[in-house]
Structure 1
Amino acid sequence: MKKKKIIVPLTLLLAAAFYFVFFYKNKALKFVPENADAVVLIDVKKLTGQYILSFIAHPSKWTENKTKDKKTISLKDSGIKTPDFLQIFHLKDTKFSEWYCVVELKDPQQFSAYLKSCQFASKGKNIFRKDQIFVKIEGGKGIIGTSDQAFGHINKLLFQSPGKNMLTADEFIDNSLGSISFISGQKIQNFSIELKADEIEIKNTSETGSLASIVADIQNKNRFLEVELDARNVKKYARFFDEKLADSAQIGYLKATANLEQVNDTIISYGYDDNFNEIEKKTFQKIIQPNYVIDLQSAATGRTWEYFQHKRWINAQNQFTAIPFQPNNIERNNSGFVIKSTRKPIVLSPKIKENYIFIRNSPLLISSLSILSPAEKKLLSDIEFIFYGNKAQDYWVKIKAKKGELPLILRW
């Protein structure tokens, strides 16, 4: 009888503990500033649960012998408090490449030691840097970003004068592993993030059948790049380069096809011999060059041509210099312009009147990205292709990885 009295409350206690550890979540987003215009949320407990299930389902991972660097402190001993939702944000009027995240610290000194063990270099004033990642320790918080430009501004917004209207996770995420949301005034546009065995999907619709058929068709063509965009999508992506580009250039349609190739590049320099006679020296290096064709359509080709000339994007040889990969040629026709690489011309794929961007991974692409670390190159080499598709108000991004013995969550 006494055992039963002990077992019942013990079972309830264990059930409550299990709930709070794996399911209870603090949904207050206290680390998203009021002037954030984009937010990425990751449900950490859901991610942890998915990892545990995948780990259990793959016994080969259980006995895996990993050689650990004893000088590197593990993440669980880094001094960071594990959040229920990882909150990554972009601030209005900052560069597209600038993203930030704030974490709570159990022990700032332990976190500092962790950064040093990961070879972060101190820049002074509690700011550390490694490659393109910056970290600032601010009291019991750590500010992490792809830049340090907004660290002071974030400190003022979140810690010195925190906003009154705190956001909650329910406004951004609905039972998915994560979400990416775009904020415009009171309007929030949400896209779910799902991690599958060998792919990541970001979307705002469950109806992806027609877009999936585009992927299947493009994969058979074996091209590095395939793009087709209408005026709305052209305007959307042109803003990454210049806020007024799409309106000024009057581009209403874009179609592009490209392949990559390794070529020998000749470098000519001049020197002098022993008699001070000028001599020509030739050296050779291997570089990665795209072969491409781009179709641009405009309802006002005259105005578009004048805009290109005003920007000095067309030289005396009719080369479109806004594209750095030379040589090329730009031709004007009744509906717009065709830009072709002249070294090795390729044929433009047929129009299908859909909106999509397809980028196939290539060893040539990865080898040319010298700014990436070996670890980043290894991660990218696992990707097969990236696809963006848009149909009316539906959007779908698919990052497809190469098939492997382990799912992505155990590989990455």
Structure 2
Amino acid sequence: MNRKKIIVPLVLLVAIACYFVFFHKDKTLQFIPENADAVALVDVKKLTRQYISSFINHPSQWFDGKKTDKEGSSVWDAGVKIPDFLQIFHLKNTGFYHWYTVIELDDHQKFLSFLKKQKFINKGENLFQKDHISLSIQGDHCIVGTSEQDLASVHHLLLQSSAKKKYNADQFIEGTTGSISFISGQKIQNFSVELKDDEVEIKNISKTETFNALLTKVQQKARFLEIELDAENVKKLTFFFNKSTGDIPEVAHYKASAELEQVNDTIVTYGYDDNFNEIEKKTFQKITQPKYMISLQSPNLEKTWEYFQNKKWINSQNQFTIIPFQPNSIYKNKEGIVIESTENPIQLSPDLRENYIFIKNDALLSSSASFINKGILSTIDYIFYGNKAEDYYIRLQGKKGKLPLILRW
């Protein structure tokens, strides 16, 4: 038999199989409720291709024993259907950190076994929790969220066909690994998410030279935290966290600088000796705390100060109590309102009159932030946010390493 007659159809079949496995995608989004106001999409097949490409190009990972050990507890073998697009959404009028996704189950028992291996706590009634992740199993679907609060509501919405809006992936994402989109009525504002070897970029623009120049200036300050925002950015940030800005006085300019330091904290306790005399015991522990300065400029300084007082954010010692790091002091000067740590205070960096947030990784951060994944944190160098008019740019910069981020994570 002619070998070409066998090889050509075989190659064709392999090519067709590869296309359907790695490229063909169902772009219908089934799990986005009508009252979602933000959607994050992950192109799972594109991400898979990136992972395979990175894996092939780094032979040191081919025989990594650690990865082999984890295969038994991998989400790829957890009894779930791997979607073409992972759909993560936020509901209107819910907490800023409350995000949800729905996954389909192939094998109920295998999925329960996966949850057990991952040390999820069974709270009964098909509700499971681990750290800040909650999930509810409803038939052949599992609703996963960063909060337990709206799991039942999400399930109810998904049961109602009228509450589900038929979206197509092309409305949110175009050729990138992921996207983050904000929905307001019929308007959808999209931000692309691109995963590169050492960084993740989120943006709504194609050219980033202006933001790269700004980032270079900010990096020269080399502090843990640098923030400078105009009135519009302050409003947006306040809205994200408070959902209402109706009674908040206008802040025309916001500036903050901070550094982390480790200090000895004294803990005083009292006990009794053998003769029942009260004795004082002192123990010491090292804690991480910031030293910082914040400046607020307002067109109506007295109204802003009065607002803080009415909210009882200023106590009798002129401390700004909404900031948990004490002691601090708050006072007015000719330029505005200043809040600063009273121990080892720092000075604000010079104004750039730009809109940015810069957070640089610090070794002290991982020792104090117990809620952060330490493995991921150790790979991050800094996070940068920049805004000019309608242009937005966010960069999550990874530390230089032998492996790309997709293999380190």
TM-score, normalising length: structure 1: 0.93
| Kept in 2: contact 1:267–1:284 (CA 8 A) | yes
What is the CA–CA distance in structure 2 between the aligned matches of 1:292 and 1:84, rounded to whole Å?
45
Runs of 4+ in 1 over 6 A off after TM superposition: none
Q: Which moved more, 1:25-34 or 1:234-243?
A: 234-243
Give the equivalent residue in structure 2 for 1:329.
329
| Kept in 2: contact 1:239–1:246 (CA 8 A) | no
Give the equivalent residue in structure 2 for 1:396.
393
What is the CA–CA distance in structure 2 between the aligned matches of 1:74 and 1:279, rounded to whole Å?
54
Letter in 2 for 1:390: N
2:405 equivalent to 1:408 = yes
Query: Are the structure 2 counterparts of residues 378 and 70 from structure 1 closer, same or farther at C-alpha, using a change threshold of 3 Å?
Result: closer
| Kept in 1: contact 2:360–2:383 (CA 8 A) | yes
Matches for 1:364-379 after TM superposition, within 5 Å: 364-372=364-372, 376-379=373-376
1:383 aligned to which of 380, 385, 391: 380
Unaligned runs of 5+ in 2: none
Letter in 2 for 1:30: Q
Give the equivalent residue in structure 2 for 1:340.
340
- CA deviation string 1:20-66 (max 9, x = no partner): 11111000000111111111100011011111111111111123232
Letter in 2 for 1:203: K
What is the CA–CA distance in structure 1 between the aligned matches of 2:13 and 2:241, rounded to whole Å?
57
Following TM superposition, by how much is the alpha carbon of 1:246 offset from its aligned partner in structure 2, in angstroms?
7.5
| Kept in 1: contact 2:258–2:291 (CA 8 A) | yes
Following TM superposition, by how much is the alpha carbon of 1:125 offset from its aligned partner in structure 2, in angstroms?
1.2
Give the equivalent residue in structure 1 for 2:37.
37
User: What number of residue pairs does the alignment pair up?
Assistant: 409
Matches for 1:301-340 after TM superposition, within 5 Å: 301-340=301-340
| Kept in 2: contact 1:42–1:179 (CA 8 A) | yes
Matches for 1:169-184 after TM superposition, within 5 Å: 169-184=169-184
2:254 equivalent to 1:254 = yes
- CA deviation string 1:173-203 (max 9, x = no partner): 0111100001111111100000111110000
Q: In angstroms, what is the RMSD of aligned CA positions?
A: 2.1
Give the equivalent residue in structure 2 for 1:64.
64
- CA deviation string 1:205-239 (max 9, x = no partner): 12221211222222222200000000010011112
Matches for 1:83-122 after TM superposition, within 5 Å: 83-122=83-122
Q: Which moved more, 1:207-216 or 1:348-357?
A: 207-216
Give the equivalent residue in structure 2 for 1:16.
16
Give the equivalent residue in structure 2 for 1:51.
51
Equivalent position SS for 1:66: helix
| Kept in 2: contact 1:103–1:143 (CA 8 A) | yes
Following TM superposition, by how much is the alpha carbon of 1:165 offset from its aligned partner in structure 2, in angstroms?
3.7
| Kept in 2: contact 1:136–1:151 (CA 8 A) | yes
| Kept in 2: contact 1:40–1:178 (CA 8 A) | yes
What is the CA–CA distance in structure 2 between the aligned matches of 1:353 and 1:86, rounded to whole Å?
38
Identity of aligned residues (%): 60
TM-score, normalising length: structure 2: 0.94
| Kept in 2: contact 1:229–1:355 (CA 8 A) | yes
Following TM superposition, by how much is the alpha carbon of 1:84 offset from its aligned partner in structure 2, in angstroms?
0.5
Letter in 2 for 1:32: I
Give the equivalent residue in structure 1 for 2:204.
204
Following TM superposition, by how much is the alpha carbon of 1:136 offset from its aligned partner in structure 2, in angstroms?
1.7
Letter in 1 for 2:386: G
Query: Are the structure 2 counterparts of residues 71 and 387 from structure 1 closer, same or farther at C-alpha, using a change threshold of 3 Å?
Result: closer
